Chain A
Amino acid sequence: MSEKISMDRFRSALDNRLSGLRPDAGLAQRIIRSDADEAPVRQKSVVLAAAVVLSLFVLAAGAVAAVLGGWGILHFADRPVGVCLPSGSEACIKQENLSIETECVECTIRESYYDGKLLRLAAQVVPKEQLLLIGGDASPADPMEEGVYANAATGMSYASYALENYGGKMADISLHAGADDVHSFHSNGDGSITVYTECVFDDELPKRDLQVKLVCMPVLLSTDGTAKYDAVFRETVSVPMTFHALESKTYVCEEPMLFPAVGVRVVHVELTATPLEIRYAIDYEITDLNAYLAQNDALWFEFIDPESTESEYVAQRVSEGVVSSGSVGRLNGAHFQSAGVGDVYRQTGSVGLDAFGDRYTIRAYHAGNKTRFETVTFAVSERRQEP
């Protein structure tokens, strides 16, 4: 069992180690005075010559990375710690072969996965010329991570790597299917990258017609390392795609569950068993404002195995699902409105298919200080689809 670092411990570690950083006691007064005088507060204290130490890395372009083979959806899905993909997962990945071309790259959408609400896409992108491709939510200044561009020197940014090996030519590639896309990418070691997109839609549809967009944004790199996106040569190519949902079943619990210690009542739980995971939504209503506010917005429900013999709370949880997001949002009112009795929040996320059953157990806890509260086991029944 690995050691866990609590949020409080995390914060105190940083505060302890950075205790020597003392704020400038006169700053506020100086700002007030300088605003009145319309004068600069003080000159920027950066001394370029002292700060600039350019790391030199000599890497032959041809020896960028070992050939890792083309990645697919399951490679990306498999990455989060604690995720256990069900056997036969490959069967739910649909092979596609849809090409999109821009001036700079050739893109082939190779795989899709759609369960009615969640869409995953994987596409291979090959540059047409000597061009370093990045994707996901990477930016040119980010350090190259191991595994993305294997063998890249630690600490080297994409931009400096492109300057060294690609004559300063690079482009940012992204594949979009909806507003809430989550992106990732992997270098295949042969100059191509696999881009991955995951999108959770608000509504559930058995068939979805979409315009999938490939955006290729050249990055302009100066010899001094400056990078900016070249909006003029940004290319967006849209292709229509239709996705048919894999079979999934939805299970619900409408019986209210009381969690008085945290001031809420769970009013609705919905679990959708898809071929890769169980997506869930837990709706809860505030019943006791003081008890709820005492949680400082850190209330979270965890799915646990009630028969677990593990002593650590975290180890009592069921396995995680593949969905890369888990979140809490307010169903009524604006996010920044003060909470009140009767307000309803929804927690969404996913758990592994190995937890599938007709009964589930959830436990309330404070995600900040890790205090655990009530545990409730509930039964679910399948929701029949309207004909």
Chain B
Amino acid sequence: MRQDMAPGSQLSREKRFEQLAQRYQETLLRTCFLYLCDKTLAEDAVQETFVKVYRALDSFRGDSSEKTWIMKIAMRVCYDMNHSNWYRLMNRRITPDMLPDAAPGTANEEDEELTLAVMRLPRKLREAILLYYYQGLKVDEIAEILHIAHSSVSGRLKRARMKLKELLEGREIDE
């Protein structure tokens, strides 16, 4: 137990953390899955992210939005997993059976095709697409999360759209 916090503030910190988890856990799980292309790994990444979030909650000063902050931590966790020894040996061929079962009546063929196309993007392009189109973050925020120049984010998004257009046989994501 941390001894430097009064019980009241500890309670408030817990409450705040629970709210963050409730707000972001589902979308974060899906983002991590699309990044790592593995359900178990994605669950581990979400857990690892929230452990880091909880421990750093007091030092979060609000310089960026909480979503940007959490995504920054999550991307770092996913990146580290992506560079772990054994991940490199995994079969990287993306197949439909890698996808978890969808809730009954929710997904159609086109949804699956688009999901697989995103998973087949090279990692850096996938990161940019997920943060921009799925998480709805701004180019500036993505640049901060990925520690790259603003223009690199735009370049990656452009290349990702082109690549998706190829993968989707002509259909393209609107800018």
> Which residues of A pack against B, CB within 8 Å?
2-7, 10-24, 27-29, 31-32, 34-36, 41-42, 44-46, 48, 51-55, 79-81, 137-139, 141-143, 145, 154-157, 159-160, 179-182, 200, 222, 224-228, 296-297, 300, 314, 324-329, 335-336, 367-368, 370
Contact = CB atoms under 8 A, between A and B. Distances in A.
B108 A16 contact: yes
Given A24-B43, A181-B149, 9 more contacts: A4-B172, A5-B173, A16-B108, A17-B99, A28-B17, A141-B123, A182-B155, A325-B151, A336-B68
Given A2-B165, A21-B42, A53-B91, A27 B21 contact: yes
Contacts of A27: 21, 25, 46-47, 50
B22 A28 contact: yes
A23 B103 contact: no
B5 to A, nearest CB: 11
Identify the interface centre among B94, B100, B154: most chain A CB within 10 Å of its CB.
Answer: B154
27 contacts: A4-B173, A5-B168, A5-B171, A7-B133, A10-B114, A17-B102, A17-B106, A17-B115, A19-B107, A20-B100, A23-B29, A27-B21, A28-B17, A28-B18, A32-B17, A41-B47, A45-B43, A55-B91, A160-B88, A180-B150, A180-B151, A181-B149, A182-B151, A224-B86, A226-B88, A300-B175, A336-B68
Nearest to B112: A17
B124 A141 contact: no
A35 B150 contact: no
A325 B138 CA distance: 14
Contact of B122 (A29, A142, A225): A142
Contacts, number: 239
What is the interface residue range for chain B against chain A?
35 or more
Contact of A19 (B18, B38, B106, B170): B106
A160 B89 CA distance: 8
